[in-house]
Chain A
Amino acid sequence: MRQHYQSKSRRLTRRAASTVLAGTALALAAGIGAPAMAAEWPTKAITIVVAYPAGGGTDISIRALTDTLGEKLGQPILVQNVGGAGGGVAATKVAKEPADGYTLLATNSTSITLAPLVQKALYDMDSFEHVAIIGEFQNAFFTGSKQPYDSLDGLIKTVKAENRAIKGASQLAIDRLVMQFIAKERGVEFVPVPVSGGSGSVQAVMSGDVDVAFSGGSWAPIVKAGDAKALFAASYERLKLAPDLVSMKDLGFPFGVTAHISLHAPAGTPPEVVKKIAAALEPAVNSEMVQTVGQKRFMDMTYRGGDAAAAVMKKERETYVTLVKTVGMN
Chain B
Amino acid sequence: MERADLAGGVLLALFGILLIFVVIPLDTEDGVYFGLPPEFFPVFLSVGLTAFAGALATKAWLRLRAGVALQPMPMRLRNLVMFVLSAALVIAGALVIDYFGMLVGGPLLIAAFMLFLGERNAVRILATATLPVAVVYLLATYVLRAPLP
Contact = CB atoms under 8 A, between A and B. Distances in A.
B34 A192 contact: yes
B68 interface: no
A80 B147 contact: yes
Interface residues of B, number: 6
B34 A76 contact: no
A184 to B, nearest CB: 14
Nearest to B142: A76
B75 interface: no
B34 A78 contact: no
Given A191-B34, A192-B34, A76 B145 contact: yes
A15 to B, nearest CB: 24
Contacts of A79: 145-146
A59 to B, nearest CB: 14
A238 to B, nearest CB: 32
Contacts of B147: 47, 78, 80
Interface residues of A, number: 11
A75 to B, nearest CB: 10
Contacts of A77: 145
A45 interface: yes
A138 interface: no
A11 to B, nearest CB: 29
A191 B32 CA distance: 10
B141 interface: yes
B145 A45 contact: yes
A66 interface: yes
Nearest to B146: A78
Contacts of A192: 34
Interface string A62-80: 0000100010000011111
Contact of B141 (A66, A70, A76, A80): A76
A284 to B, nearest CB: 15
Contacts of A45: 141, 145
Interface in A231-288: none
Nearest to A165: B34
Contacts of B146: 78-80
Contacts of A76: 141-142, 145
A79 B146 CA distance: 6
A66 B145 CA distance: 10
18 contacts: A45-B141, A45-B145, A47-B147, A66-B145, A70-B145, A76-B141, A76-B142, A76-B145, A77-B145, A78-B145, A78-B146, A78-B147, A79-B145, A79-B146, A80-B146, A80-B147, A191-B34, A192-B34
Sort A-B residue pairs by CB-CB distance and give the 5 closest, nearest first: A78-B145, A76-B145, A78-B147, A191-B34, A80-B147
Interface of B: 34, 141-142, 145-147
